[in-house]
Amino acid sequence: MALLETWRKLAYETEMDQKNASEFWGSYFNQEKAIYEQILADSDTVVKGTVKELAEKFGVEVLLMTGFLDGINDSLKTPNPIETMEEDTEVSLDYDKEKLYYNMVACKADWLYELPQWDNLLDEATRKDLYKKQKLSGTIVKGKKIGRNDPCPCGSGKKYKTCHLALDDKLEDMKNRGFKIPTHAMIKNAEQIEGIREASKVNTSVLDYITPFVKIGVSTRELDDLIYNYTKSIDAIPACLGYEGYPKSVCISVNDVVCHGIPSDDIILQDGDIVNIDCTTEYKGYFGDSSRMFMLGNVDPAWKKLVEDTKKALDIGVEVCSKPYVTIGDIGYAINKFAQEQGYSVVREIGGHGVGLAIHEEPYVSHIGQPGKDYVLAPGMVFTIEPMINMGGPDVYQDADDGWTIYTEDGSPSAQWEYTLVMTEHGVEILAH
């Protein structure tokens, strides 16, 4: 049993009388407060390590650390893989200050948002503004029943009954029928979607800008420099740069490189190359993510077909999402079926993901699946579809020296296209392409 499941069973499903419940949560909140006092006091230092190492660092039990990680996850710049983490899973406490503060306020955790350490992190005016928003995100406290007249957890400011109550009722019904439903954290509100839409437009403009420069004889480092300078010139941020230590502004993958190719002066584009440029852009605190393929000069007809068919696979995945409440498994099944019919294989280890408030969010979007399985895609969910399709076998490996570049195991070419999409009441809208 994964740590998070064990923690949630202990905290929310175990029968406790009032006295034991009071003691349990009183102890938890005191230890939670002590951890926050430490990480807020030294905000310039990002705390990282395994779950066990963090538990030892803060002097708490592993399960309590699990609960803390569950609580803070929605406030992190890059969420941790809390659903699957074990004691040896590497995690980070790199929090977004404003997001963390308003999540604390939303959950009425006055013992946290009134900590004196906040005085050195956010000015009084900012804190007052965040307080007024009263966003009930559920980041710190889980399982609180939402009243019909309460503010909606999405942060819209509307009453729950006029906002997401109907959606939650539908999802609860689907859950009772055996479907895996998304959490509130996976569903964006209208304000967030609009911000992501603008960031996605900016991201698309970056790929539009770089297109005429993708030529034979150009180094991938030159392309990266151009993208960096253009992105900064439009007051945006190349989100890949520095992400988990990644050294460049975009990923540029050539031929047998599946993904995460690091731009270099040594990689000169050649006649016959197929090239993927994967770009993620942050704009005004929101993220858009997409990638495109480029074919240079006299490309082998079989390679050309691979590129074209991979785009078709992406379009098939999008078509599956022509109505809401389909599942991620429906997408993966359709993409994999098409790829196999063409004689290709789909990369299993890497897929799409939630996006918008961070580069990578839940849920994971596999491009291999079973109909009706995995998360239901409800209105308000923002995610990517980005099939990576190999001409040969599906196996891949990571460059041991740079720790990033993923190659096909058999040296066969690979192609990838990626969109950022938002699910609506009428089906998906393509945001970044």
At 415 the pLDDT is 98
This prediction has a pTM of: 0.66
Q: What is the predicted pLDDT for the residue at 136?
A: 38
Q: Which residues pair with 90 in a beta bridge?
A: 50
Q: Tell me the pLDDT of the chain (433 aa) as tens digits.
A: 678 888 877 876 666 665 676 678 778 888 999 999 999 998 888 999 999 999 999 999 998 999 999 889 888 999 998 888 899 999 999 999 898 888 888 766 778 888 999 999 999 888 888 887 643 333 333 445 677 777 777 776 777 767 777 888 878 878 887 888 898 889 999 999 999 999 999 999 999 999 999 999 999 999 999 999 999 999 999 999 998 899 999 999 999 999 999 999 999 999 999 999 999 999 999 999 999 999 999 999 999 999 999 999 999 999 999 999 999 999 999 999 999 999 999 999 899 999 999 999 999 999 998 888 899 999 999 999 999 999 999 999 999 988 999 999 999 999 999 999 999 999 999 999 9
Long-range pairs of 44-48 with CB within 8 A, sequence gap ≥ 24: 46/92, 46/93, 46/94, 47/92, 47/93, 47/94, 48/90, 48/91, 48/92, 48/93, 48/94
The backbone region for 285, taken as left when phi is positive above 0, alpha when psi lies in -120 to 50, beta otherwise, is left
Do residues 46 and 94 touch, judged by C-beta distance below 8 A?
Answer: yes
* pLDDT in the model for residue 135: 35
**CB contact set of 166 (below 8 Å; sequence gap of 6+):** none
Domain 190-432's class?
alpha beta
pLDDT for the residue 144 = 55
pLDDT score at 14: 67
CA dihedral 258, 261, 264, 269 (to 10 degrees): 30
The contacts of residue 61 (CB under 8 Å, 6+ apart) are 55
Cα dihedral: 197, 199, 204, 208 (round 10): 140
Residue 27 is predicted with a pLDDT of: 86
Could you tell me the residue ranges of all domains in the chain? 3-144, 190-432
